[in-house]
A and B are shown apart, each in its own frame.
Chain A
Amino acid sequence: MNRRAVKFLVIGGVLVFVLLGGLFIGYSPSEGPGIDNVSTSFSLATPAFAQGIPSGQFPMNEAGISAYVNTEQALDLSKVKSLYKVLEDETENYLIGTVELSGYGEEWWPHVWIQKSGWILVYYTKNEPTSRLMKWDVIQWDQPGFTTTTLREVLVSVARRLGVDMARVESGLRYYHWQYPEATRMLVVLDTTNAGADSFQYTIPSELTIYDLSASHRGEVGSNAYGSCYSATNLDEVKLLGGGQGTYVLVGQVPEKYLLPQAPHVVALGHKGGWTGIALFFLYR
């Protein structure tokens, strides 16, 4: 092969790759659910829904944290009717009620609204803390990776029953809190320990507006003859959540005084037996 021709081929190939690379800059195929890949919609603009849905109307009048997806296909509602533990309302266009979260008690079962045109909205009621999202049963103390949420699990199970394109569900799933329309970001800090004690601290910059902070505490401490096993989470040396022996999850709101900006707030875990963990859910913009 002519050496000049080979050089031309190599340089041309490099140029093609560079151009292709330029086209794909900013595109990340592995971004997870809830992250909008469209750069123009990554803005922090106030959601427009407040202009269209009165506060006394569904779902603002009852919903809190939610996960939703538009499957963009017609849904056969009869396929999922049997999934409902309580079918609160049924019309030609939608179903609404509570659906079981497998392995969890009733207080963890979210409401599910399925619209015939393709929408699936899974939510906890507005009185429930956002930290109900935390799904501890998929987490080990030494592998505290946040891989899924309670709402996502129910949404996925409903979508599977409906027979929709699961790739579309995974890529199109979004989270939203109906009581905090101004909040555009959710951040989860998760810490676990089996060493008896651990701590971390968070500091909120003054330029951020925090709308909500809630916590999910996990105790998997077993039991002993003395009944001395326990787990607890303290915030700035005041007990936030905690329990005795056994395995449990406790959720709750974090008081506003722990949202003060510019001051470090110390979160301390303590336990006897097994392991314990805490997850903090910040909603802010």
Chain B
Amino acid sequence: MADLKWILAFLAVGVVMFWLLLSPGPSPNQLPTSADIKVEGAKVNWFTELKFSRNLAPALAGVRPRIVLDYATISAHSSLVQSSDFAAATGKVAPRIMVQYAATTATRAVVSSQGLMLAAANTHPRLMLQGAATSVINENLSTSENLIGAASELEPRVLLQGVEDSALQTTGPNPRSLLIGQETSPKEER
């Protein structure tokens, strides 16, 4: 009987130790905030460390520059693309995307800008305009000698992206190959 007590005690200690070993530590969702940002009336819901891995740096170093203008404001687009400095700047960084998500008025300024075309001719971007508004495409792009000329010369992978069908129907012969992001050469398709 005494032996059984010892065996039971042994098992109990074992169970407790296993429980201690395998039970979760303090959850990152429930870290104490006494020495941190103090929140009253709601619980701190999540916490994490922000980390950078040194090993990531060499891999990142091989990435080519791609974007010159990205989500810029309308006024910024208008002033930037009409600046002679813009062409010079893009010539240095060889962007893969020239303009992304330009607003209507900005896009209008962009596509009529000699500066943009010059910059594109120098840098051979993969994607020239993205998210251009339909009205702009109808008004300017389809009739823009500059843009068509640039596309012929540059053969960007994507000339325009995010355009609507109504625009596609009014942009001349075989517009889809020119406007949709296919891996084709606009020069060959036109």
> Which of A29, A87, A187, A201 is the one whose CB lies under 8 Å from B46?
A187
Residue of chain B at shortest CB distance from A193:
B42
Whether B13 pairs with A17 at a CB distance below 8 angstroms is: yes
**How many interface contacts (CB-CB < 8 Å) are there between A and B?**
214
Whether A24 pairs with B21 at a CB distance below 8 angstroms is: yes
Bound CA span A106–B56, Å: 28
Whether A200 pairs with B130 at a CB distance below 8 angstroms is: no
Nearest CB of chain A from residue B37's CB, rounded to whole Å = 6
Q: Which residues of A contact B35 (CB under 8 A)?
A: 205
Given A36-B51, A88-B96: A203 touches B27 (CB 8 Å cut-off): no
Residue of chain B at shortest CB distance from A50:
B52
> Which of B10, B21, B57, B65 is the one whose CB lies under 8 Å from A10?
B10
Whether A86 pairs with B158 at a CB distance below 8 angstroms is: yes
Nearest CB of chain B from residue A217's CB, rounded to whole Å = 14
B70 interface residue (CB < 8 Å to A): yes
A62 interface residue (CB < 8 Å to B): yes
Q: Which of B1-54 contact A (CB under 8 A)?
A: 2-3, 6-7, 9-10, 13-14, 17, 20-22, 24-29, 35-54
Interface string of B41-85 (1 = CB under 8 A from A): 111111111111111110111111111001100000000000000
Among A90-98, A233-241, A247-255, the stretch that binds chain B is A90-98
Bound CA span A42–B35, Å: 16
A30 interface residue (CB < 8 Å to B): yes
Whether A17 pairs with B96 at a CB distance below 8 angstroms is: no
* Chain A interface residue count, Cβ-Cβ cutoff 8 angstroms: 87
Q: Which residues of A contact B26 (CB under 8 A)?
A: 28
Nearest CB of chain B from residue A43's CB, rounded to whole Å = 10
Q: Which of A174-213 contact B (CB under 8 A)?
A: 174-177, 180-181, 183-191, 198-205, 208
Residue of chain B at shortest CB distance from A208:
B37
A74 interface residue (CB < 8 Å to B): no
Nearest CB of chain B from residue A211's CB, rounded to whole Å = 10
Whether B70 pairs with A62 at a CB distance below 8 angstroms is: yes
Whether B45 pairs with A189 at a CB distance below 8 angstroms is: yes
Given A49-B56, A52-B61: A13 touches B10 (CB 8 Å cut-off): yes
> Which of B29, B48, B66 is the one whose CB lies under 8 Å from A89?
B66
Whether A189 pairs with B27 at a CB distance below 8 angstroms is: no
Whether B56 pairs with A30 at a CB distance below 8 angstroms is: no
Q: Which residues of B contact A121 (CB under 8 A)?
A: 56, 60
Whether B24 pairs with A175 at a CB distance below 8 angstroms is: no
Nearest CB of chain A from residue B17's CB, rounded to whole Å = 4
From B42, B53, B55, residue with most partner A Cβ within 10 Å: B42
Q: Which residues of B contact A13 (CB under 8 A)?
A: 10, 13-14
Whether B24 pairs with A146 at a CB distance below 8 angstroms is: no
A257 interface residue (CB < 8 Å to B): no
Bound CA span A9–B13, Å: 13
Whether A32 pairs with B42 at a CB distance below 8 angstroms is: no
B132 interface residue (CB < 8 Å to A): no
Whether A30 pairs with B24 at a CB distance below 8 angstroms is: yes
B126 interface residue (CB < 8 Å to A): yes
Nearest CB of chain B from residue A16's CB, rounded to whole Å = 9
Nearest CB of chain A from residue B148's CB, rounded to whole Å = 22
A-B contacts, 15 listed (Cβ < 8 Å): A3-B3, A24-B21, A58-B65, A58-B66, A68-B56, A96-B63, A117-B59, A127-B71, A174-B49, A186-B47, A188-B44, A189-B44, A190-B45, A191-B41, A201-B41
Rank and list the top 7 A-B pairs by shortest CB-CB distance, nearest first: A28-B25, A200-B41, A30-B24, A34-B48, A200-B42, A47-B52, A17-B17
